[in-house]
């Protein structure tokens, strides 16, 4: 049996603090980026080892346009730019991003410390497209006040939903990830009654029990394949915001074995499904970013340093 390469920590652990860094790579910055990606696991160990309860982890993703600049070899079968969606009412923009770093820990300072090490290495070779610090809010609620993450797959089902297998053998153990930053109009949301909010989400606000409301966020995002099996993604959304600025947001992050599943969910939300014109969560939440990345397995990242040598050496001979 062929051994599955070691994935990056896409399966978690889920924690209470996170940092999402989306970067673009400057022309000429590729060798520095390759070296950093190859050293990433070592940096994570250096920062995290002394704090075993901190559960520090990092996942790196590479965007479609950056892939050919950073990797001298085949492309993952389904790597493409994030498909912008324009519905009758709502828009999911596609925004720049060559690299994603998804840092998670039980303490914000550990995300900060590892983020700082990453940026120390990359400064001068990249530009920051977006940076968001996320936190767990109360009992796992989003800033609309609902418990978020309940129906995530766990255990073997999570691995099956997220990790590429035989369908793209050269990239087995990898994954695809889509991120979107949403800003909420909480004043308008709070004008609704709790019952109206529950119809939109499809769950009870206090008890978190499903309501099975047709057209709700939950129903629009429950999708099945031709075999009738539910097609799942693994989310680790995080609230973020600033009371001073009146900013309330959800950083959506969804890992999947094929981006097709997440994209189908997004089509339901923005373009509608049957009689439902759109997900009413969008009447109170605006997507301001949208980017798709491939997450190679951990050994692949470590091998990028050798690739840097291979690509750089011939030039040095001239």
Report in angstroms how near the CB of residue 136 gets to ligand HEM at its nearest.
Answer: 14
Give the span between the Cα atoms of 197 and 208, in whole angstroms: 12
Buried b (16+ CB within 10 A) or exposed e, 239-259: bbbeeeeeebbbbbbbbbbbb
Q: Which stretch binds ligand HEM (CB under 6 A): 63-71, 72-80, 93-101, 258-266?
A: 258-266
Q: Which stretch binds ligand HEM (CB under 6 A): 1-9, 16-24, 120-128, 140-148?
A: 140-148
Q: What is the CA 57 to chain-centroid distance, rounded?
A: 14
Q: Which position among 180, 197, 216, 289 is part of the footprint of ligand HEM (CB under 6 A)?
A: 180
Stretch (H or E) spanning 249: strand 247-256
Give the span between the Cα atoms of 187 and 118, in whole angstroms: 37
Q: Which position among 55, 104, 203, 297 is part of the footprint of ligand HEM (CB under 6 A)?
A: 203
Report in angstroms how near the CB of residue 286 gets to ligand HEM at its nearest.
Answer: 9
Task: Closer to ligand HEM by CB, 70 or 201: give it.
Answer: 201
Instruction: List binders of ligand HEM among 224-243 (CB under 6 A).
Output: 233
| Residue 126 makes contact with ligand HEM by CB under 6 A | no
- Would you tell me how many other CB atoms lie within 10 Å of the CB of residue 169? 10
| Residue 250 makes contact with ligand HEM by CB under 6 A | yes
Report in angstroms how near the CB of residue 89 gets to ligand HEM at its nearest.
Answer: 15
Q: What is the CA 23 to chain-centroid distance, rounded?
A: 14
End-to-end CA distance of the chain: 44
Catalytic residues: 148
Report in angstroms how near the CB of residue 155 gets to ligand HEM at its nearest.
Answer: 16
Instruction: List binders of ligand HEM among 155-174 (CB under 6 A).
Output: none
| Residue 146 makes contact with ligand HEM by CB under 6 A | yes
| Residue 149 makes contact with ligand HEM by CB under 6 A | yes
Q: Which of 51, 58, 133 is nearest to 100 (CA)?
A: 58
- Cα torsion at 175, 180, 186, 192 (round to 10°)? -70
Q: Which position among 285, 289, 297, 304 is part of the footprint of ligand HEM (CB under 6 A)?
A: 285
Give the span between the Cα atoms of 63 and 69, in whole angstroms: 10
Give the span between the Cα atoms of 153 and 143, in whole angstroms: 22
| Closest residue to ligand HEM using C-beta atoms | 151
Task: Closer to ligand HEM by CB, 22 or 201: give it.
Answer: 201
Residues found near ligand HEM in the complex (CB under 6 A):
142, 144, 146-151, 180, 182, 201, 203, 217-218, 221-222, 233, 250, 252, 254, 262, 265-266, 269, 281, 285
């Amino acid at each position: 049996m062929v051994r599955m390469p070691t994935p990056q920590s896409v399966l978690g652990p889920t924690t209470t603090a996170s940092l999402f860094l989306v970067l673009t790579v400057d022309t000429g910055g590729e060798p520095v980026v390759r070296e950093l990606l190859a050293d990433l696991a070592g940096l994570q160990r250096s920062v995290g080892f002394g704090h075993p309860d901190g559960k520090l982890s990092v996942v790196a993703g590479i965007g479609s346009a950056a892939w050919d600049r950073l990797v001298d070899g085949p492309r993952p079968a389904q790597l493409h730019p994030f498909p912008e969606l324009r519905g009758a009412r709502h828009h999911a923009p596609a925004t720049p991003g060559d690299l994603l770093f998804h840092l998670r820990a039980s303490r914000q300072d550990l995300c900060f410390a590892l983020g700082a090490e990453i940026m120390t290495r990359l400064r001068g070779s990249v530009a920051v497209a977006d940076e968001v610090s996320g936190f767990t809010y109360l009992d796992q609620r989003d800033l609309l006040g609902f418990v978020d993450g309940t129906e995530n797959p766990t255990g073997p089902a999570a691995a099956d939903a997220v990790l590429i297998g035989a369908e793209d053998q050269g990239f087995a153990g990898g994954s695809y990830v889509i991120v979107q930053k949403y800003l909420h109009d909480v004043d308008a949301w709070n004008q609704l009654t709790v019952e109206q909010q529950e119809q939109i989400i499809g769950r009870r606000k206090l008890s978190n029990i499903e309501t099975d409301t047709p057209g709700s966020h939950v129903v629009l995002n429950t999708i099945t394949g031709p075999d009738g099996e539910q097609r799942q993604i693994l989310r680790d959304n995080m609230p973020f915001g600033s009371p001073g600025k009146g900013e309330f947001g959800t950083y959506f992050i969804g890992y999947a074995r094929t981006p097709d599943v997440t994209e189908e969910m997004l089509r339901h939300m923005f373009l509608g499904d049957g009689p439902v014109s759109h997900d009413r969560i969008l009447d109170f939440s605006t997507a301001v970013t949208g980017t798709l990345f491939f997450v190679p397995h951990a050994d692949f990242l470590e091998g990028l340093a050798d690739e840097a040598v291979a690509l750089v050496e011939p030039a040095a001979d001239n």
